Chains A and B, each alone.
Chain A
Amino acid sequence: MLTVASLAPAALRARLAGDGLRLRTGRFSVRLQADMPSVAAGIGQLYADYPLLQDSDFADFHLHLKRPRSARRWLRPQVRLHCDGYEMFQPMPLQHAFPMFEWGLNWCVSSRAHRYLIVHAAVLERQGRAVILPAPPGSGKSTLTAALCGKGGWRLLSDELTLLELDTGLLVPNPRPISLKNASIDIIRAYVPAAVLSTPVHDTTKGTVAHMRAPGAAVARTADCARPAWIVFPHYSAGAATTLEPLARAATFMELAGNSFNYSVLGAAGFDALGRLIEQAAGFRFRYSALDEALDTFARLDER
């Protein structure tokens, strides 16, 4: 199977600038058109291990990053993102093009893939058992996820979108780059020296953003679903002692439903899927400030 790495940089740029690059991320196929060096660099650096599809292959999502040809392109050039022909987002500064692709692809999955219950959460697996990490921005979810898969021996299924298959109750991998923000970028550079990070992009709506490449082993195992075992709500708090406290099942249910993108869309099917998940996976509230202690706590989740 060919991967994106099989394309020479010039060929990659040509596909992106032309009819589009088609690649597979987890169960989704994506067609991306973008005539921008920063996007080609980001794809080449972070998506090298992903299966490359042929031009004739079906694509679930069609994303097109365009530079508007207004007069402001000379002073403050912008980028627009079209998803399946529709423009769903406000234009952004041109230098935000690669993060815009990442956010746009997340939006495509979370707003369309309703055969899954989709939770705004990271998900990782070890020895066949998965931990779900739902959390709002600023909770340290992505930092913890990067540490767990970069150094803690956990397999990354996703940093952003937990996909729970409705009929099987299994967690479906969709490993993509991990979005690190602000201080987390240098923290992970120091804590996971082998991590490959994209060039930081400044002044986005989320501050400074850099993406960490998903481990190749995780990308290679996208067919291996995982059984949910734990739901851990992380919260980073500077100087806090590491604590892991059990959470009642009903409270876990309500909080997880609140973090889901499509729970209300799915109706009773979503309620049922979430109920089965809660009965399989124990809920916890986790506070931490030191990554070493956090990894040690997660290494001992089997004991809980």
Chain B
Amino acid sequence: MPVQWQLVPGQSLLHRSWDGQVVLYNEVSGATHLLDQDTLDLLHALRDGELAPEDWANAELQLALAELRKLYLVEPC
């Protein structure tokens, strides 16, 4: 059974985007992250519950979410 993920509670994804680059304020850790637009889109999809059950089986997606976990942006649910 693949791991399913959610945003860490308290994250509102406060961000600014310019030219495909994103700065995002992490309201849990207080850090600011430099991300790309695809990563922000993934976080929005998580927040909005847009991931389909079959998406969780994608290895690349799991790897990306595991990296975001290190930043305290997402967590398994």
- Among B10-35, those with CB < 8 Å from A are 14, 16, 18-19, 21-23, 25, 27, 30, 32, 34
| Chain B, interface SS category | strand
Contact: A275 with B27, CB < 8 Å? no
Contact partner of B18 (CB less than 8 A), chosen from A250, A263, A267, A272, is A250
Cα-based distance from A88 to B66 in the complex (angstroms): 42
Bound CA–CA A70/B21 (angstroms): 58
Q: Is the CB of B19 within 8 A of A248?
A: yes
A253 contact from B14, B23, B27, B30, Cβ within 8 A: B23
Residues of A within 8 A of B14 (CB): 268, 271-272
Q: Among the listed A264, A267, A268, A275, which residue makes an inter-chain contact with B23, where contact means beta carbons less than 8 Å apart?
A: A275
Please report which residues of chain B, range 27-74, place their CB below 8 angstroms from some CB of chain A when the two chains form the complex.
27, 30, 32, 34
A43 on the interface (CB 8 Å rule)?
Answer: no
Whether A271 lies near B34 (C-beta < 8 A) is: no
Q: Is A278 an interface residue (CB 8 A)?
A: yes
The interface size of chain A toward B, counting residues with CB under 8 Å, comes to: 16
Complex CA gap A209/B44 in Å reads 52
A254: which of B19, B30, B32 is its contact (CB, 8 Å)?
A: B32
Interface residues of A in 255-270 (CB under 8 A from B): 257, 263-264, 267-268
Please, how many angstroms separate the alpha-carbon atoms of A251 and B19 in the complex? Answer: 11
Docked complex Cα distance between A268 and B15 (Å): 10
Interface residue A227 (Cβ < 8 Å from any Cβ of B): no
**Given A250-B34, A254-B32, A254-B34, A271:B25 Cβ within 8 A:** yes
A270, B65: Cα distance in complex, Å: 27
Contact between A271 and B32, CB atoms less than 8 A apart: yes
Cα–Cα distance between A250 and B14 once the two chains are bound (Å) = 14
Among residues 220 to 261 in chain A, which have CB atoms less than 8 Å away from a CB atom of chain B?
248-251, 253-254, 257
A264 to B18 CA separation, bound complex (whole angstroms): 22
The reply to whether A250 and B19 form a contact with Cβ atoms under 8 Å apart is: yes
Assembly CA distance A193 to B22 (angstroms): 46
Shortest distance in angstroms between B73's beta carbon and chain A's nearest beta carbon?
A: 15
Q: Is the CB of A250 within 8 A of B30?
A: no
| Contacting residues, chain A, for B21 (C-beta < 8 A) | 248-251
CA gap between A10 and B23 in the complex, in Å? 55
Tell me if B16 and A253 are in contact (CB < 8 A): yes
Known: A275-B16, A278-B16. A264 touches B22 (CB 8 A): no
Query: Which residues of B are at the interface with A, using a C-beta cutoff of 8 A?
Result: 14, 16, 18-19, 21-23, 25, 27, 30, 32, 34
**Extra pairs beyond A248-B18, A248-B21 (12, CB < 8 Å):** A249-B18, A249-B19, A250-B18, A251-B21, A253-B16, A254-B32, A264-B30, A267-B25, A268-B25, A271-B25, A271-B32, A278-B18
Which positions in A face B, CB cutoff 8 Å? Answer: 248-251, 253-254, 257, 263-264, 267-268, 271-272, 275, 278-279
Of the A-B pairs whose beta carbons lie under 8 Å apart in the complex, a sample of 15, sorted by A's number, is A248-B21, A249-B18, A250-B16, A250-B19, A251-B21, A254-B32, A254-B34, A264-B30, A267-B30, A268-B14, A268-B27, A271-B25, A271-B32, A272-B14, A278-B18
